[in-house]
């Protein structure tokens, strides 16, 4: 198993927090972490264990098997595997063969598609289908589905936090993201209302009842625009600001 992957998994509790408190929340990670996908490139070994053919997933489970013993060496071997088993109960393995003949490996960027191994393309197709079709969508604690825009906010928050030398916290990131999304939702709702009223001006003068009716229609449309984008406005604070 790659040393970099092993080291990163063992440092997860130091690199990320779920809650803003100082309480150990490592047990919460499993609720948010995605499927663990182990992609092995240039795989030349046989998918066999004790001379028995096995699947890629069984091969991964075998690689994560713990050793018996209490020595320091055994504990160092087991610890990263225990972390992967604990934090990532859902795991998938893909073994990619060489993408082409050995003599073509030095010029992959300019390689003709016809020279790419059919077996490599088969595994790649299987991999892509799993990621896009079978893997779970990203969700937050309250089952809120993370969209591309929201994921962008989260990613930026995490990168900025890590760059500053701090430990990113999911709870704080979600609060910050909610503020950004809800302020934008209010702005969109107001723009819908204001644009509608601007168009109404060309029809002036109007009866008060007509203006009142249009106001109600635009208010409803503005609220709908807000509802399409709002995010965790639990106390209705942002919706009220739109009224």
Where helices occur in the chain by DSSP H, the ranges are 3-10, 12-15, 56-63, 72-87, 118-129, 148-163, 170-201, 208-229, 237-242
Query: Range of 216's domain?
Result: 183-242
Distance of CA 63 to the CA centre of its chain: 25
Same domain? 73 vs 27:
yes
pLDDT for 9: 57
Summarised one tens digit per residue, pLDDT across range 54-81 is 999 999 999 999 999 999 999 988 888 8
Q: State if pTM tops 0.85.
A: no
pLDDT for 11: 57
Which of 87, 120, 147 is at the close of a domain? 147
Same domain? 141 vs 187:
no
Q: What is the C-alpha separation between 143 and 185, in angstroms, rounded? A: 20
Same domain? 218 vs 143:
no
**Other beta carbons within 10 Å of 204:** 7
Residue 25 pLDDT greater than 60, yes or no? no
- The tokens of 166 are what? 């701090």
* 152 falls within a domain: no
**Residues counted in the chain:** 243
Q: What is the C-alpha separation between 32 and 25, in angstroms, rounded? A: 12
Q: How many domains does the chain have?
A: 2
More confident residue, 234 or 132: 132
Average pLDDT, the chain: 82
- What CATH number does the domain containing 109 carry? 3.40.50.300
Which of 96, 128, 147 is at the close of a domain? 147
Three-state SS string over 195-240 comes to HHHHHHHCCCCCCHHHHHHHHHHHHHHHHHHHHHHCCCCCCCHHHH
Same domain? 53 vs 113:
yes
Summarised one tens digit per residue, pLDDT across range 28-54 is 666 667 788 999 999 999 999 999 999
* 70 falls within a domain: yes
Residue 155 pLDDT greater than 90, yes or no? no
* 118 falls within a domain: yes
pLDDT for 93: 96
* 163 falls within a domain: no
pLDDT for 26: 57
Same domain? 82 vs 198:
no
- The tokens of 73 are what? 């060496």
Residue 138 pLDDT greater than 90, yes or no? no
* 141 falls within a domain: yes
């Amino acid at each position: 198993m790659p040393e970099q992957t092993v080291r990163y998994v063992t440092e997860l509790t130091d690199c990320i927090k779920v809650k803003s408190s100082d309480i150990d929340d490592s047990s919460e990670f499993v609720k948010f972490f995605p499927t663990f996908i182990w992609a092995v490139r240039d795989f030349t070994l046989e998918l066999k264990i004790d001379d028995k053919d096995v699947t890629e997933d069984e091969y991964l489970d075998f690689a994560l098997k713990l050793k018996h013993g209490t020595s320091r060496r055994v504990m160092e071997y087991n610890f990263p595997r225990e972390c992967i088993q604990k934090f990532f109960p859902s795991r998938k393995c893909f073994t990619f063969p060489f993408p082409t003949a050995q003599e073509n490996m030095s010029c992959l960027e300019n390689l003709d598609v016809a020279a790419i191994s059919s077996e490599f393309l088969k595994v790649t197709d299987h991999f892509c289908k799993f990621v896009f079709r079978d893997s779970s969508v990203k969700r937050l604690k309250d089952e809120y589905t993370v969209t591309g825009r929201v994921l962008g906010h989260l990613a930026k928050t995490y990168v900025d936090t890590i760059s500053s030398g701090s430990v990113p916290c999911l709870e704080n990131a979600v609060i910050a993201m909610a503020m950004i999304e809800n302020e934008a939702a209010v702005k969109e709702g107001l723009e819908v209302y204001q644009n509608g009223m601007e168009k109404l001006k060309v029809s002036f003068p109007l009866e008060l009842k007509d203006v009142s009716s249009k106001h109600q229609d635009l208010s409803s449309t503005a609220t709908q625009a807000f509802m399409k984008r709002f995010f965790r406005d639990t106390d209705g604070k942002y919706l009220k600001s739109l009224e």
